[in-house]
Structure 1
Amino acid sequence: MSFSPYKVYTQYRPDIAHFTPFSERIYTLTHSDQTGDLFLTVSKELAFDQTNEMRDEVFGWWSLQQPNTSVVFQGSVLVGTNAFPETQQDIRYQIFMREMGTALKGIFYGERWLVEMNPFLSEAPVWIQFNSNLAKYRGNVYFGKVKDYM
């Protein structure tokens, strides 16, 4: 799926205001397979009410790393559990790897003003945790820096 800014819809929950610090913002990105639309929910908590039985959402948040207090953008996806056969997990893993760039563009486009107002965020490394009961689909994967998706 290619990225189109016209297909990104951002919803800010009542607990988020324009001045809410980046470190308190949590992102839930879902999508429509039929339209290619991306739906970004920004809140102080994960928006599980926006997920579906496919569990193909991407969660993300900003994290301050100690001791030098650098900022990292961290995320997570669910590749599978014991309830997912290995063949299905393999397909999910490949799709997440292929489409992660589009998902990250959607998140950072939806909050582009935040990065523009805090330029140091553009230098933040992006790490996505792939969660699976199978070791070959589990791990923390580096996806470059935020500026690569702006």
Structure 2
Amino acid sequence: MSFSPTRSYVQYRPDIQHFTPFWERKYVLTHSDQTGDLFLTISKTYALDQVNEMRDEVLGKWMVHQDGIPFIGEVLVGNEDIDYSVQNIRYNIFKKEMPTALQGIFYGERWLLEMNPFLTQSPIYILFKSNHPEFRGYQSFGYVRDYLRLS
């Protein structure tokens, strides 16, 4: 799936304003398998009511760290209740579709990035959560600037 701004929708929860500091923002990105639409919810807490039974969402946040401000995300590949072969499929889909998901998040927060251009230099790390070690751990996905669309 490729990213399309016309198929991307953003919802700010009442606790978030445009001027809310980046370190207070939490992101939940979901999608529709039927339409390919992306849905980004931004709040001070993860909008877990947006999580569906497929558990194919991407959660994310900015971390203020002594070495910089990475964008940290996570996805659930699987647990004891999900068969190994299914986790293998989920892992590969998450890896393949992560660039589209990251484009959706950063497109939805383009105003924040315009007001805080230093965030475009932030590295991106995604935690793949699984009970199988081959599907578990942090992976680097480059930098925020790599996912910004040029208009």
Q: TM-score, normalised by structure 2?
A: 0.97
Aligned-partner Cα distance in 1 for 2:85–2:18 = 43
Shift of 1:110: 0.3
Separation in 2 of the partners of 1:124 and 1:116? 14
- Write the distance in 2 (CA, Å) between the matches of 1:89 and 1:56: 12
Question: SS of 2:70's equivalent?
Answer: strand
RMSD after superposition = 0.5
Partner of 2:112: 114
Deviation string, structure 1 residues 2-41 (Cα, Å, up to 9, x no partner): 1101011000000001110000000000000000000000
- Structure 1's consecutive aligned runs of 4 or more residues displaced over 3 angstroms after TM superposition are none
**CA offset digits 1:100-131 (Å, max 9, x no partner):** 00000000000001001100000000000000
Aligned equivalents of 2:2, 2:123: Cα separation in 1:
22
- Larger strand share, 1 or 2: 1
CA distance in 2, matches of 1:45, 1:79: 22
- 1:1-150 maps to which residues of 2 (within 5 A)? 1-66=1-66, 68=67, 70-150=68-148
Instruction: String of CA shifts for 1:54-103, please: whole Å, max 9, x gaps.
Output: 0000000000112x4x1100000000000000000000000000000000
TM-score, normalization by structure 1: 0.98
Gaps in structure 2 of 5+ consecutive residues: none
C-alpha separation in 2, matches of 1:53 and 1:73? 25
Task: Give the AA of the match of 1:79.
Answer: V
- SS of 2:63 mapped into structure 1: strand
